Amino acid sequence: MARTDRPNPWSTLIVTLCIIGMIAAWLLIPRQIVEQARVAEQQQMISWAGEGADQWIYGKSSAMALEFSREVVKATSIEMTRELKGWVVDRIYTTILWSDIIFYRMYSLALWFLIAFPVLMAASTDGVLMREIRKNMFISQSPLRLSIGANLFLLSSVLLLLWLFIPFLLPAISAPGMILMMGFSLWMWMANIQKRI
């Protein structure tokens, strides 16, 4: 019998548009915007978490960006016209700055997850215990809440992934806010899982 279920075409379209948008941003974004975003991102982290956290994040992300830049700079050794070489060097510099922002955000996200891990564990444990209480009290589970929790978790995960790669300055509350949204969605998801799996 032939399979009738097909993957969601909207997800394919959204992923394709995101990839095209990232390539277009890489081709067109001025390096000054990326430089400003990098400096402002570091200032936000200093104001939120202090010098010590910023030094740890900056040390780790700079090491990764340095390793990445060693590989990328090899592209300048190719023979090309002066204008094209100037554009390629500008794009390489922008790429290195953008990768530094990505690495910086990855390590700051790791720092936020260390702080928020107890919240995520408590939310999921409380959700499981709520499910057990409802099982024993013969209270019906809400498939709508289960769906909302699962979709909210997916949304917060996608937003965190987008936050990592957007080359513009975003508010410092973005990462902890999305992690808290993940905690709430985990609670709602776990609390409303069907009684019989």
The percent helix, strand, coil of the chain (3-state, each to 5) is 85, 0, 15
Residue 85 lies in a domain: yes
- For 51-107, write each residue's pLDDT tens digit: 888 888 888 887 777 777 777 667 667 777 888 878 877 888 888 888 888 888 888
Question: What average pLDDT does the segment 123-131 reach?
Answer: 87
Task: Establish if 66 belongs to a structural domain.
Answer: yes
* pLDDT for position 116: 86
What is the mean pLDDT of the segment spanning 18-39?
86
pTM above 0.95, yes or no: no
DSSP for 129-188, written as a single string = HHHHHHHHHTPPP-HHHHHHHHHHHHHHHHHHHHHHH--S---TTHHHHHHHHHHHHHHH
Does residue 3 form part of some domain? no
Q: Which tokens is 53 given?
A: 């956290």
pLDDT of 197 reads 55
Task: Say whether pLDDT at 1 is over 70.
Answer: no
Q: Would 20 be classed as within a structural domain?
A: no
Comparison of pLDDT for 162 and 66, the residue scoring more: 162
**13 within some domain:** no
Does residue 59 form part of some domain?
yes
Residue 12 lies in a domain: no
pLDDT at 15: 80
Confidence of residue 7 (pLDDT cuts 50, 70, 90): low
Domain encompassing residue 100: 31-191
pLDDT over threshold 60, residue 25: yes
Query: Which residue shows structure tokens 């996200």?
Result: 109
Rounded Cα gap, residues 149 and 181, in angstroms: 10
Tokens matching residue 121? 């564990």
Answer yes or no: is 36 within a domain: yes
Number of domains in the chain: 1
